[in-house]
Chain A
Amino acid sequence: MTQPASMRNIAPARRRLQQINPVYFVLAVLIVAIAVSNPSFVEPTGYMNFLKRAAPLAILAAGQIYVIVSGGFDLSVGSLITLTVVGSSMLLNNNADATWWVILVMYVIGALVGLINGLVVSYLRVPSLIATLGMMITLNGVAFMWSSGSPRGYLPETFRYFGRVNIQGVPLIQFLPVALIALVMVGATFYWLMHRTNFGRMLHAIGDNPRAAKMSGVPVERVRVLAFMVSAFSAVTAGILLGGFAGVSTDVGIGYELQAITATVIGGAQLLGGRGSVPASIAGALTLTAIFTLLNFVGLPKPTRDVVQGVILIAAVVLATYRRNRTGT
């Protein structure tokens, strides 16, 4: 159809520039700002530590985007992180040999949580907000019950390996934090699943218009359940990493669900579904972490982070709306 004249006249190069997600520019600017205010950041340990710290949130955002694109929210991920950390410490009971099967058990629990979330949303038609909220309350209660309210000490080194350690002595991947390797692996898999498979396309379709998707033969329920399972998988992974550098407590996961949603929104995801990208969500998570890091350097107190996060969250949505209205897409 006829496009508005203003759009036709934009030079192709500029138009291509406009199509790039602005989150990458923002992230680049922030990284430069951090490097300027703290020169040690440019050294490998500096930025590697940054990436190590950002990895759990980035993985979480990469999982959350699946639910967001499908048109829902997953508020239960924070409490699933808590459950993973608390549950692991209970099961391990300081026995380092148990690490592998405990991790396996945690993934099974995660799969079950995602499955239940998905089934409740798909078949009982409970809005995902309420369903995952109920799950959040429930899982927090379970974490408390499991640890009788006072979780024990710390996790063994074998478990903390994933969150803490940088690889040493191996050429080529020297200094790389294990957490970063996990992020790259999860990120690549999630990217492939979201942007290169039929499943990813179905996810976009049901978030865009569930009725049309159903009438076009999309197995809406199955796809939705899988989206919640992917999100739960990412939460367990993030929990394992966080267990590595945070201690064991019943509030490890608090606030992570909101940070993950904020990260996807910064990455340009459309709330209530239909649009979103895994790499942009990871970039959103890095952006959020970079902002917090910068605030730290500037010396602003911790509570300011909340204010900033709130303002960013709203501003990101306002800007996205403005951008869409202007370009008419």
Chain B
Amino acid sequence: MTQLPIIEMRGITKSFPGVKALCGVSFAAYPGEVHALAGENGAGKSTLMKVLSGVYLPNDGAIVVAGKERHFKHPLDAIEAGISVIYQEFSLLPERTVAENIFLGREPTRCGIVDRRAMETEARRVVALFGEAQHIEPDALVADLDVASQQLVEIAKAVSLDAKVIVMDEPTAALNETECEALFALVEMLKKRGTAIVYITHRMREITKLADRVTVLKDGWTAASYDHVPTPDTIVHAMVGRDIGDYYAEPATAQEIGALVLSVRNAGNDQLKNISFDIKAGEIVGFAGLQGAGRVALARALFGAAPFTKGEVTLAGQSARFQSPREAIRAGVGLLPGDRKGEALVLMQSVSDNGMLTARALSNLAGHDKATRFASTTSMDALLRQVDVRAGNFSQEIKSLSGGNQQKTIVARWLSLDPKLLIFIEPTRGIDVNAKAGIYHLMRELARKGAAIMMVSSDLPEVLGTADRVLVMRLGELAGEFARGATEAQIMLAATGEKVGAA
């Protein structure tokens, strides 16, 4: 432990217009060690790593590499300093081959000509490090690979760079159990070679298994920093900053659960097979599973965005195989997408306009925009206040609001239409802890008022804490159903379809 760190970040501060993302955060990575960086979504982990990799310039603070202070103005500077980051959102080009992606921007050349053979040889060598089980051809298109293999290509890129520090941002999000084990073995191997690993995660199991040190971020601050691995409870407490007790809302009582709202029978499309389930009024049904298991596809199918091609769906007794979101919305379905910025918000418009969007969309095009059939600007203001959107005023651009307030605005958007079924996808992604509790209670309140709620989430504790019933999906099918009170291990077992050893 007397070693010098390979890199050290001191007092890093980074703010964006309207938001302070990092505030005086310090962090160090030592050779041959795994330093776990834990924190809730939106705590600033990814921002910190983007500062480290030169994507963002910090407003204040210093990065010290091998004793020398450095200023990374371009990602190239960080790469040359031996820092390699495996981003959560993939940084691969789908139209290019595996070898081309591994050597992106640093293709080996001979007399100015790209040496494709050298690229393929090296790509083969690096991929072989992952063991027998992985067959990735260097000349395969990345678009043709499955999610886990794409993840491996990412890692191969970092390994072939011979980086001194490798940052892995939630690397297991898309992996099944076997693939996770392979990844853990790889991390051990890199450790032995003296590489420093920064491992970003919020899964306690992985921290316990891999980490040598732990730093916890919360709301852009260093909440805690340990030179050892403390108990999961300690870490969680540091992450959340309060007791879990009142975090989730009370479950539904038997009287609160009402009539059948949604019924799906043997439905499917090219991504979904043989789906049958029901949701009743007043009930929150959680959908768990690995990334790509079909949960989002199911939500989009119900909403008409990627419709079912077979099977029967009824909503409150009416046939409900919608062919477009507009049809679904008319019939009383609402959806809050996981990718809020991409699929829900119109960022340049005001909070009020964002709230009114759907009410206006379903009204007469030539009608007055301040008083539609479904809501007026006055009633929308009341709704926004009711769901507790905090903004200077509702005519300011929604861009300047926090993730939690943006999400609540979208809840208000759907409330104005009084939907029968509300679908939440990753409802608390990128939302700070206190706002999270607000969203959970809001969901429960909606259910109590008689809405049926479908919740898709990758955050298992969240699913277990909020849902009255959990459905698990795997490979486009329903793979299990659990009443409230199931354990994480049971759910993971159903989600991966494998025996779990030490979960």
Contacts and interface: CB of A to CB of B under 8 A. Distances in A.
Asked whether the complex places CB atoms of A and B closer than 8 A, the reply is yes
Interface of A: 1-4, 193, 196-202, 204-205, 208-209, 211-219, 222-223, 226, 270, 274-275, 327-329
Contact of B369 (A197, A211, A222): A197
Given A205-B353, A208-B349, A211-B343, 14 more contacts: A2-B20, A196-B368, A198-B367, A198-B369, A201-B360, A201-B369, A204-B346, A209-B346, A211-B342, A212-B346, A215-B303, A215-B344, A216-B358, A328-B400
25 contacts: A1-B405, A2-B18, A193-B366, A197-B369, A198-B361, A198-B366, A200-B369, A201-B353, A201-B369, A205-B353, A205-B357, A205-B361, A212-B342, A212-B344, A213-B346, A215-B303, A215-B337, A215-B344, A217-B329, A217-B330, A217-B361, A218-B326, A219-B361, A328-B16, A329-B17
Interface in B88-146: none
Nearest to B413: A216
Contacts of B356: 201
Nearest to B19: A1
A211 B340 CA distance: 11
Given A197-B365, A201-B357, A212 B17 contact: no
Interface string B380-417: 00000000000010000101111001000000010000
Contacts of B353: 201, 204-205
A202 B361 contact: yes
A2 to B, nearest CB: 6
A274 B346 CA distance: 8
A214 B400 CA distance: 23
Nearest to B367: A198
Contact of B357 (A216, A219, A274): A216
A2 B446 CA distance: 29
B363 interface: yes
Closest CB pairs A-B (n = 5): A328-B17, A208-B346, A217-B329, A199-B365, A198-B360
A218 to B, nearest CB: 4
A176 B348 CA distance: 39
B364 interface: yes
A3 B18 contact: yes
A3 B18 CA distance: 5
A211 B343 CA distance: 5
A4 B345 CA distance: 23
B325 A328 contact: no
Contacts, number: 118
A275 B353 CA distance: 13
B362 interface: yes
B372 interface: yes
Contact of B361 (A3, A204, A218): A218
Nearest to B20: A2
A297 B368 CA distance: 45
B376 to A, nearest CB: 12
Nearest to B345: A212
Interface in B200-214: none
B347 A223 contact: no
Interface residues of B, number: 45
A198 B364 contact: yes
B296 to A, nearest CB: 13
Contacts of B337: 215
Contacts of A274: 346-349
Nearest to A198: B360
A197 B368 contact: yes
Interface of B: 15-20, 303, 305, 325-326, 329-330, 335, 337, 342-349, 353, 356-358, 360-369, 372, 392, 397, 399-402, 405, 413
* Residue from A193, A217, A222, A327 whose CB has the most chain B CB atoms within 10 Å: A217
Contacts of B345: 209, 212
Contacts of B303: 215
A202 B363 CA distance: 11
Contacts of B397: 329
Contacts of B326: 217-219
A202 B367 CA distance: 12
B325 A217 contact: yes
Q: Chain A CB within 10 Å — which of B15, B335, B369 has the most?
A: B369
A229 to B, nearest CB: 12
A1 B401 contact: yes
A198 B349 CA distance: 14
A198 B348 contact: no
A282 B446 CA distance: 47
Nearest to B400: A1
A214 B361 CA distance: 10
A101 to B, nearest CB: 27
Contacts of B405: 1
A2 B372 contact: no
Give the residue among A196, A214, A218 with the most B Cβ atoms within 10 A: A218
B375 to A, nearest CB: 12
Nearest to B390: A1
A136 to B, nearest CB: 28
A32 B155 CA distance: 64
Contacts of A214: 305, 325
A198 B365 CA distance: 5
Contacts of A196: 368-369
B89 to A, nearest CB: 16
Given A208-B348, A212-B342, A219-B326, A199 B413 contact: no
A198 B363 contact: yes
Contact of B17 (A4, A209, A217): A4
B346 to A, nearest CB: 4
B418 to A, nearest CB: 14
Contacts of A208: 346-349
